[in-house]
Copies of this chain bind each other. A is one copy, B any other.
């Protein structure tokens, strides 16, 4: 049970999104080495731009814990969060964010100041190749 293991679980979620013709992003939230929430992007199915994988995973983890804060939790997400999702992660005070592929057009790290909580630790590039390949295949199929 390490970062690669949990990112693989997030990738499984992303593959579900891919199969439903959604931008393939998946996320899991981990607390005390257990996955407490899994989600994938549902923007098209729900006609809702707020239905990103991270937003759903955050809401679901909060429901699970019965708490408004995710301190002690880690989110694994296949692609760098956008500014909306990073804003939500900031409010949640999540302890750690692990992501696979960077998003050079829409990623939160393009913005300043950082929307994250100052104590949140960020790890980038876990299974980056697999995460970005899934995105490339998706957008290639759209052209």
Among B43, B55, B83, the residue within 8 A (CB) of A50 is: B55
Q: Given that A83-B90, A87-B87 are contacting pairs, would A49 and B44 also be in contact in the complex, using a CB cutoff of 8 Å?
A: no
Copies in the complex: 2
Q: Assuming the A-B contacts A48-B62, A66-B47, A68-B49, are A85 and B83 also in contact, with contact meaning beta carbons closer than 8 angstroms in the complex?
A: no
Task: Tell me the A85-119 residues at the B interface (CB within 8 Å).
Answer: 85-88, 90-92, 110-113, 115
Q: B residues within 8 A CB of A59? A: 48, 50
List, in ascending order, chain B residues with CB within 8 A of A120's CB.
none
Contact with B along A24-35 (1 / 0, CB 8 A): 000000000000
| Chain B residues with CB below 8 A from A63, complex form | 47-48
Q: Does A11 contact B (CB under 8 A)?
A: no
Interface residues on chain A, size class: 20 to 34
> Is there a chain B Cβ closer than 8 Å to A14's Cβ?
no
Q: Which residues of B contact A50 (CB under 8 A)?
A: 50, 55, 58-59, 88, 91
Query: How far, in Å, is A56 (CB) from chain B's closest CB?
Result: 9
A46-B58 Cα distance, complex, nearest whole Å: 12
Query: Could you list which residues of chain A lie within 8 angstroms of chain B, going by C-beta atoms?
Result: 43-44, 47-50, 55, 58-59, 62-63, 66-69, 82-88, 90-92, 110-113, 115
